Structure 1
């Protein structure tokens, strides 16, 4: 069985808004630093600017290279957000209830939250059904 689900376009809007928020925060930080330039030494001003710029660039790079959420189901497991999960690794599946996201509990008692809010409702229900029926 090979089945694939893709997130809705609302995820792209979220990514654009995060991108705009990071750039805005960088500009606000630089404006505040320009005001404080009279109070702090020049070397500290440039050091803080470089550190904040590097963190901003790193965050933007991670945001741009992150993959849109999607599910790809195979016979022995599924791939979700660059993570391959096999059905035999899953101890228990906790379906979504009352607006919460579904969770997967592995045999070592680690939990993994599946962010299904970016998918259509019928796709969410089908994803949960496929996972629940294939757990051994």
Structure 2
């Protein structure tokens, strides 16, 4: 039996807010690059408008890359079946995991593999009911593996 858990609406809201912040930052940069090009044009008595376009293009490309990164990263989701856990960041069989450590004081819970690596599980994006169910399944399956 395979069970999938999906993040709540809060992750979507976070992505929208980040995109709005990137757009606002790009607007501020375009205003500053306009002032810089105007100042340099007056100082050197040449038309240096191309500086504005170059700066706008560079920051526009960087902003688009950030937006693509946010959109392509995907919403957090966890899939658990009898033998394996799969998240957006890792896939592990339960027999490869040594222990599960619940969250404490606002930190995310994590699992430790038998080779000593720590894998964070982003449970803060899930509903309370789903978090409790995921935690109990992980504890049970790691102990029995």
Q: Same fold (TM over 0.5)?
A: yes
Q: How far apart, CA to CA, are the structure 1 residues paired with 2:87 and 2:98?
A: 17
Match of 2:31 in 1: 31
Match of 2:60 in 1: 53
**Equivalent in 109, 133, 136 of residue 126 of structure 1:** 133
The answer on 1:8 being equivalent to 2:12 is no
Deviation per residue, 1:102-121 (Å, 9 max, x gap):
01222332222111111111
Deviation per residue, 1:48-68 (Å, 9 max, x gap):
322211111111112122221
1:38 Cα deviation from its structure 2 partner: 2.7
**Equivalent in 94, 104, 124 of residue 101 of structure 2:** 94
**Poorly superposed stretches of 4+, deviation over 6 Å:** none
1:2 Cα deviation from its structure 2 partner: 1.2
The answer on 1:78 being equivalent to 2:88 is no
Deviation per residue, 1:19-48 (Å, 9 max, x gap):
111111111111111111134455544333
Q: How far apart, CA to CA, are the structure 1 residues paired with 2:79 and 2:57?
A: 40
With normalisation by structure 1, the TM-score equals: 0.87
With normalisation by structure 2, the TM-score equals: 0.82
1:73 Cα deviation from its structure 2 partner: 1.0
> Superposition RMSD on alpha carbons, in Å?
1.8
Q: How far apart, CA to CA, are the structure 1 residues paired with 2:121 and 2:35?
A: 44
Q: How far apart, CA to CA, are the structure 1 residues paired with 2:120 and 2:31?
A: 38
Between the two proteins, the alignment pairs up a number of residues equal to 136
What SS does the corresponding residue of 1:17 show, helix, strand or coil?
Answer: helix
> Structure 1: any 5+ residue segments left out of the alignment?
none
Match of 2:114 in 1: 107
Deviation per residue, 1:71-117 (Å, 9 max, x gap):
11112112211632221222221111232210122233222211111
